Structure 1
Amino acid sequence: MILFSIIVPVYNAEKYIENTLHSVINQDESNFEVIAVNDGSTDNSLKIIKKIARNDGRIKVYSQKNKGVSYARNLGLDKAKGRYILFLDSDDELPPHTLSSYYRIFQMENADIIEGNIHISEKQDKYRNKIKVFNHDKAIKYFLNCKTISGYAGGKAYNKNILKNIRFISSISYGEDGIFFLETLLKSHKLVHASFACYKYTIRLNSLSGRGQDYNSHNLEVFKQSENIQASVPQKFKKYNKVFIFELYKSEIEKFADSTPKTQKEYYRSYKRLKSFCDKNVIGVLFTTFNLRVRKDAIGYLIWRINGKNKL
């Protein structure tokens, strides 16, 4: 049986995709498949993938018309045969010990989800055996309080069993991974956060995940994301909704503030909606969250609002 399925959505990544695939090929755990989904690339990405796949039967290549990252990942989920599932963007890489470290923890802890550290450093790699175990309730609380557990698709491995009937929302291409991750948390019994560096993250313009871009129409999907999160969270965790959404909206306000005057004028109504929520809920967030960093963010927001500065 295949141990790992690594799902790689690809869109115009000719500068990166070779390094991405070789970072998987060079893993010290060889029992895996790569499901590369070409999402209508107009550059040489597909040609590069097929060339590499001809020399390695573990790489499976699929193509679709340009539909977005959610469609691409869902196709990968439909095709996956591995016991464990990872998502890897086409401009990112896996450190060579990633799969073997995940497998060791799955065997030790019988976890549903394992989350590692995204940013690579010598300190993180040195303490790669350090883990924290979260039960169902604690994992949800920490996620909604933006503490330790993140909603990013990268840097995680899932037991395939908990992904049955869970898919990315196809109509959302910004913040879709947070919604997906919450759905997996709701079905999980145990999450393990491990300190080893498991993911090398690259910021570039025009990627499928929309990273590194100026504020634009994709950012408006943050409202869909917050609506889905609020609707999905069980009643006993509802009080933490405002914490999660405050952090989400505060980040969007910062992106708006860094945009050009023309962009700010175009999306001013969106900014007002973001700010209205944060203004209304900042005090509640301050006294609800157990995350000290979020408390500092709330205090910083209050100071920014009082002083009327441009930067948060």
Structure 2
Amino acid sequence: MDTIISIIVPIYNAEKFLASCIDSILSQTFKNFELLLIDDGSQDSSLSICQKYQQNDNRITVFHKNNEGVTAARKYGVEKAKGEYISFVDADDIIPENSLALLYKEHDNADMVIGNFIEVMPHYSKKNKLYSPQVGRFNGIDYISLQLENKLYHAPWGKIIRKNCFNDDIFTTPRDIFRGEDLIMNIKLGLNIKDIKIVNTIVYYYMIRPSSCMQSRKPTLEYEKMFDRFLMLILKRNKLDTKLKKSILSQRIDALTGLLTEKIHLDKNDTFVKMIYSQLKISSFDMRQILLKTCLSHPSIFNILYRVYRKLSSITT
């Protein structure tokens, strides 16, 4: 019988949580899958853990490669996969036992099926957080729009994707793109995908670990401008820059608002900031536009208005 789903787990120094991840996959009620464990040059016992599991289950294949990062590990896994569909799982997360069954049951010949997830916080006093997706049937351009507007999570997990939708370009990003790689990958996927189904069914547990709270490189306006240039190259090359103008503005608003939350001063005379500012419309009644336009003019009141905005957003969602 041909393999239906190839599950790809990129692994780097994940010995603390790896067994829980693999156990959750092997416990799936859906049995027709292969599990590709891609060890990306781990320096702990991750590789030996993978090899022990491989000895006991012939659906598991272990690959060891030099460390090149999670994107390269996913690309390697896709190249080795034999399944009709690809599913990604991070090595420190777990999936419910009916995850694959639920996703495949919903596929209805779609190129991609996207499920819901829960943020699980086992070491924190906060409650687990349930994500609320926009469900329905969408085409590739719709998918790109949802990604740009942050109405659909950027992570590659929590879904099954037809393998023939992948090509080498999907995983190609410049080395200086260290944040937002998943958004870029999803936009490129959207260019190759015709039919997407989004369902409000829990298929993934995103585990908030103490180790996942490490500080990444501090965001800067220069980085956001560089990221925007690369993003626009892709959209312009595919003649989507005009068609997705509203969605592009939404992504740029998120970028500048994110900088303000990090208390980074934004110069209204900067060409990039000035361009975005000129497109903001108070009359639109878009709370994000009102917030950003007001705070670019009066940065000292950002923290107050942002707390109000978050409070109102939690009430309306």
Shorter-chain-normalised TM-score: which range?
0.7 to 0.9
Partner of 1:112: 111
**Distance in 1 between the 2:219 and 2:38 partners?**
22
**TM-score in terms of structure 2 length:** 0.78
Would the alpha carbon gap of residues 231 and 165 (structure 1) be closer, same or farther in structure 2, given more than 3 Å must change? same
- Taking the TM superposition and a 5 Å limit, the aligned residue runs for 1:1-312 are 1-106=2-107, 108=108, 110-119=109-118, 131-147=135-151, 149-169=152-172, 171=175, 172-204=177-209, 211-216=212-217, 223-233=225-235, 234-239=240-245, 240-254=247-261, 256-257=262-263, 272=266, 277=272, 280-282=275-277, 284-286=279-281, 295-305=286-296, 306=298, 308-309=300-301, 311=303, 312=306
CA displacement at 1:215 relative to structure 2: 4.5
1:99-143 Cα offsets, whole Å, 9 max, x none, are: 11111111x2x2111111122699979x99x95111233333333
1:246-282 Cα offsets, whole Å, 9 max, x none, are: 213423543x34xxxxxxxxxx6xx648995456425
Partner of 2:309: none
**Distance in 2 between the 1:58 and 1:190 partners?**
29
Would the alpha carbon gap of residues 298 and 164 (structure 1) be closer, same or farther in structure 2, given more than 3 Å must change? same
In structure 2, give the amino acid aligned to 1:298: Q
Identity %: 27
What number of residue pairs does the alignment pair up? Answer: 286
Would the alpha carbon gap of residues 192 and 59 (structure 1) be closer, same or farther in structure 2, given more than 3 Å must change? same
**Distance in 2 between the 1:225 and 1:70 partners?**
17
**Distance in 2 between the 1:60 and 1:70 partners?**
19
> Residues 78 and 163 of structure 2 are in contact (CA less than 8 Å); yes or no, is this contact kept in structure 1?
no
Moved more, 65-74 or 136-145: 136-145
Q: Secondary structure of 1:137's partner?
A: helix
Partner of 1:264: none
Would the alpha carbon gap of residues 63 and 179 (structure 1) be closer, same or farther in structure 2, given more than 3 Å must change? same
Would the alpha carbon gap of residues 103 and 273 (structure 1) be closer, same or farther in structure 2, given more than 3 Å must change? farther
> Residues 39 and 72 of structure 1 are in contact (CA less than 8 Å); yes or no, is this contact kept in structure 2?
yes
**Distance in 1 between the 2:115 and 2:274 partners?**
34
**Distance in 1 between the 2:23 and 2:49 partners?**
12
Q: Which runs of 5+ in 1 are unaligned?
A: 258-267
> Residues 29 and 97 of structure 2 are in contact (CA less than 8 Å); yes or no, is this contact kept in structure 1?
yes
Would the alpha carbon gap of residues 249 and 80 (structure 1) be closer, same or farther in structure 2, given more than 3 Å must change? farther
**Distance in 1 between the 2:94 and 2:273 partners?**
35
Give me the CA root mean square deviation. 3.3
Q: Secondary structure of 1:93's partner?
A: coil
**Distance in 1 between the 2:150 and 2:57 partners?**
39
Partner of 2:125: none
CA displacement at 1:222 relative to structure 2: 5.1
CA displacement at 1:61 relative to structure 2: 0.8
1:73-107 Cα offsets, whole Å, 9 max, x none, are: 1111111111000111111111111111111111x
Q: Which runs of 5+ in 2 are unaligned?
A: 121-127, 307-317
Q: Secondary structure of 1:198's partner?
A: strand
Would the alpha carbon gap of residues 250 and 307 (structure 1) be closer, same or farther in structure 2, given more than 3 Å must change? closer
Q: Secondary structure of 1:308's partner?
A: helix
**Distance in 2 between the 1:275 and 1:251 partners?**
19
